[in-house]
Amino acid sequence: MEKAFLKIILCSLLLNYVAVFSASQDFDFFYFVQQWPGSYCDTSQSCCYPTTGKPAADFGIHGLWPNYNDGSYPSNCDPSNPLNPSEIGDLKRSMQRNWPTLACPSADGTQFWSHEWSKHGTCSESVLDQHSYFEAALSLRKKTNLLQALESAGIKPDGSSYSLGSIKDAIKESTGYTPYIQCNTDESGDSQLYQVYVCVDTSGSGLIDCPVFPRGECSSEIKFPAF
């Protein structure tokens, strides 16, 4: 009798534990962040082209960042799991084209990708391993095609200014979702289109409405510099 009772208690404790841990989520959604290289390079900090040469005049990937609905985010979740470049060898050429490093001194990208994996990727490793994480980002970039979205609304990287609203509208028109636009300032202090954030479900595959937007606003007219 006593033994059976103990068994029931132990079982229910175990069930409770399993329920709590399978329901516990690492994060709520991803920001998929793309960057205009012209706006990284024309700042006072400047940039260095990758060892593979000047990147295309197109948006590059900055990162795929796990986030919480309250606006905070986890980082550096698993120091025991650094990027193993041999696991993503088949993606390297595509990453060099679509996820170019612009930091100085010139490099081949591995450092930048390792940083992104360690800081952000390890926080979604329960859903996406290293290979799937980078593959997911590459496929999101193809899916969003920001430059084409902007150009079909007449918004071109020609150094002129466009209204922030028209930029958001063009991206919404093409992707179906309102993005967050992050600006920075060029050497003469003008506000310009720097990064575009879209939100992605926890599987890393589908765009969603952003549960929360990052803080900070661009001015209402922003420059779209050439690259």
Restricting to residues 73-92, name those near ligand AMP by CB under 6 A: 73
User: Which amino acid type is present at position 139?
Assistant: S
Residues numbered 116 to 175 that lie near ligand AMP (CB under 6 A) are 116, 119-120
Active site residue 115: no
Evaluate whether 157 touches 225 at the Cβ level (below 8 Å).
yes
How many other C-beta atoms are found inside a 10 Å radius of the C-beta of residue 186? Answer: 18
Q: Where are the beta strands (DSSP E) in the chain?
A: 29-35, 60-67, 161-163, 180-185, 191-200, 207-208, 221-223
> Pick from 65, 134, 162, 227: which binds ligand AMP (CB under 6 A)?
65
Bridge partners for 174 per DSSP: none
By CB under 6 A, how many residues form the interface with ligand AMP? 16
Q: Which is nearer to ligand AMP, 94 or 174 (CB)?
A: 94
CA dihedral sign of residues 156, 158, 163, 167: positive
Question: Closest approach of Cβ 84 to ligand AMP, in Å?
Answer: 19
CA distance 72 to 78: 18
From 102, 138, 164, 196, residue interacting with ligand AMP (rule: CB under 6 A): 102
Q: Among the candidate windows 2-10, 21-29, 63-71, 129-137, which touches ligand AMP by CB under 6 A?
A: 63-71
Q: Contact positions toward ligand AMP, by CB under 6 A?
A: 31, 35, 40, 62-63, 65, 67, 73, 101-103, 112, 116, 119-120, 214
